[in-house]
Amino acid sequence: MRRHHLGAVLRQVHLTGPISRAALANRLGLNRSTILALTTQLTAAGLVYEGASGSTGRAGRPSLVVRPESDRWYVLAFDVAVDRLVAARVVLGGAVLERREAARRRSRYADLDEVVGVLAGFGRALVDAAPRSARCVGVGVSYCGLIRAADGMVRLAPNMGWTDLDFAPALSGQLGLGLPVTVGNEAHLSALAEHERGAGVGHRNLVYLHGDVGVGGGIIVGGKLLDGDDGYGAELGHMIVNPHDGRPCNCGSQGCLEAEVGEAALLEAAGRVGGPVGRDGVRAIVEAAENGDAAARKALDRVGDWLGIGVANLINLFNPGAVVFGGTLGEIYQGAAPRIHARVAASVLPVSQERAQLRTSALHDDATLVGAAELAFRCLLADPLDALARITA
């Protein structure tokens, strides 16, 4: 129990930032003397410290708050996306500090060794550049593919042509930090990040839709990430929305949400194949539609209708408090919100409509990195003293 409570306090300080002991007691449902004992123990371990809040309390005395020891503990967070590789140092408390980034050519047959080599180089450089007093306590990776929960195996990276790769041990070995590497699906980790630090804070049930080359999803059910038996849950991009004359999908099926609202569908509908791709390409269409371009408007409306059907289905299934659009779907939501809302109004049961709020990502492109960092911090937050003992052994 003590371990569990120590973790809960550290997690709260990590997520909320400076917080008074009274507020901690309140949030965690523990009495103040227990909180004092726990924060004393965490202070002794060098994980938190107490200091003045900066603002003065009613009585004129500055009140004390507990803060994370952000200068002493950090994780490495990586993002393996279709068109970029990113690495960042993320400190206890959640701030994303130094980062390294490389663009990748979009290729279906990228080389594992090359990707691992680039990431490991970034990681070592970030460790070298960190203050001498700071220590790395975990490594997390957001990956644009299906990740087996049991062992982190990359089962399928649909837009990269990889299958069944043991990516984590390769990266762990090349980093040489003696730390295991934890891998998660990019959309799952984005959902986790939005839930803990973004547009979904405070919601027990949340649906996150992510658009990139493909369309992925992450879903929070009862405060926890839906993973499924093996970690492959929330593949909302492969929900069939258009069975009649649906476009072929990368997965081999047709009429999937990804096939109808992904980047390729939008570019094609707008007659812009061969022009800019990715976020830039999508943003250009949204801007053109706002400026009266009829083809762009029609394309956005079409994609918005399909997206609306997908969203309506998800609200009926999950009765969520929030639906969050990230990546290119964030742009599309901004450009086609009325169509999406109309579909929700037409097809969601009224009782579930009452609740669901639609909004764009708050963390934007950082969602994957923030999620990967939370994955990397998980061991420390679950059992702080045990984790430190292992790391400093």
Q: Applying CB under 8 A, which residues contact a copy of itself? A: 1, 146, 148, 155-156, 203-205, 219, 221-222, 224, 226-236, 238-245, 251-253, 256, 309, 312-313, 316-321, 346-352, 354-355
Give the nearer residue to a copy of itself in terms of CB position, either 246 or 278.
Answer: 246
- Give me 197's structure tokens: 């630090």
Q: How far apart are CA 229 and CA 232, in angstroms?
A: 8
Minimum Å gap between C-beta 122 and a copy of itself is 29
Strand intervals (E) in the chain: 48-56, 62-68, 73-80, 84-91, 96-103, 135-143, 146-147, 154-157, 162-165, 181-185, 206-211, 215-221, 224-225, 322-327, 357-360
Residue for token digits 């227990």?
34
- Give the residue with the Cβ less far from a copy of itself, 87 or 348: 348
Nearer to a copy of itself, 250 or 360 (CB): 250
Q: Which residue has the tokens 């047709």?
A: 254
In the complex, the smallest distance separating the C-beta of residue 195 from a copy of itself, rounded to whole angstroms, is 14
Quick one: which of 236, 200, 215, 220 has its CA closest to 357?
Answer: 200
Residue 283: CB minimum distance to a copy of itself, A: 27
CB 315 within 8 A of CB 352: yes
Q: Considering the complex, what minimum distance in angstroms separates the CB of residue 223 from a copy of itself?
A: 11
Minimum distance between the CB of residue 241 and a copy of itself, rounded to whole angstroms?
A: 7
Write the secondary structure of 76-142 as one string of H (helix), E (strand) and C (coil): EEEEECCCEEEEEEEECCCCEEEEEEEECCCCCCCCHHHHHHHHHHHHHHHHHHCCCCCEEEEEEEE
Q: Which is nearer to a copy of itself, 128 or 245 (CB)?
A: 245
357-360 and 322-327 strand pairing = parallel
Comparison of 41 and 347: residue with beta carbon closer to a copy of itself: 347
Cβ 352 to a copy of itself, closest distance in Å?
Answer: 5
Q: Would you say 234 or 289 has its CB closer to a copy of itself?
A: 234
- Beta carbons within 8 Å of 166's beta carbon, 6+ residues apart: 153, 154
To the nearest whole angstrom, how small is the minimum distance from the Cβ of residue 276 to a copy of itself? 30
Is residue 388 a contact partner of residue 98, using CB atoms and an 8 Å limit?
A: no
Residue 315 CB, nearest approach to a copy of itself (Å): 9
CA distance 119 to 99: 11
d(CA 259, CA 302): 12
Q: Which is nearer to a copy of itself, 46 or 223 (CB)?
A: 223
The crossing angle, in degrees rounded to 10, of helices 2-16 and 21-28 is 120
Measure the CA–CA gap between 301 and 267, rounded to whole angstroms: 13
Nearer to a copy of itself, 48 or 303 (CB): 303
Tell me whether residue 113 or residue 245 sits nearer to a copy of itself (CB atom): 245
Closest separation in Å from C-beta 148 to a copy of itself:
8
